[in-house]
Structure 1
Amino acid sequence: MKKQSNKNTPSKPGFVFGKKNYVVMAIGLAVIAFGFILMAGGGSDDPNVFNPEIYNFRRIRLAPTIVLLGFGIEIYAILLDPNKKKKE
């Protein structure tokens, strides 16, 4: 006699994302953190002295670009299908 599964029994809930998604999300978070680290600094200890280092290339162009790249990686990680198989 075959045991039939009851359609009314709730299935075991799983994670929304797969392992691959979480790995890519961790990479995205690391890239975002790196961008914010690059933005840090450039201030002056004396409030009466202006330090033009606050406007250098690293803080104005490079760091925000890296942060936006990290957000793009996060969006990709959310949209990534963990069940998709590789074609061989």
Structure 2
Amino acid sequence: MSKNKNSNQPEFLFGKRNYMLMLIGLAVIALGFILMAGGGSKDPNVFNPEIYSWRRIRLAPTLVIIGLGIEIYAILANPKK
């Protein structure tokens, strides 16, 4: 009876490339949420137009959507390549 020397190692569902892409996607999503944060006013009766800045309205949501796309690609990418 011959034993395979790799039989004790767990077999992961994804490859190293997939996990790296997932980490990159999570970092892009986190950056998008960080860019969305802030812009509030200390006094609720004072309007702060900073909440409608280009960074919060266009850039941050775009980064979140790109990060989700990277996550989907990382899940669907073939780990054997």
Q: Same fold (TM over 0.5)?
A: yes
Aligned counterparts, 1:2-81, within 5 A: 14-81=11-78
Q: Which amino acid aligns with 2:22?
A: M
> Larger Rg: 1 or 2?
1
| Structure 1 segments of 4+ aligned residues over 6 angstroms from their partners | none
Indicate the RMSD between aligned Cα atoms, in angstroms. Answer: 1.6
Identity, % of aligned pairs? 74
What whole-Å deviation, never above 9, does each CA across 1:21-72 have from its counterpart, x for those lacking one?
0000000000000000000011000111010110111000110000000000
- Asked if 1:83 is matched to 2:69, the reply is no
TM, length-normalised to structure 2: 0.86
1:15 Cα deviation from its structure 2 partner: 1.1
In structure 1, stretches of 5+ residues that fail to align are 5-10
1:82 Cα deviation from its structure 2 partner: 1.3
Across the two proteins, how many residue pairs are aligned to each other? 77
**Structure with the higher helix share, 1 or 2:** 2
- Distance in 2 between residues matched to 1:53 and 1:23, nearest whole Å: 35
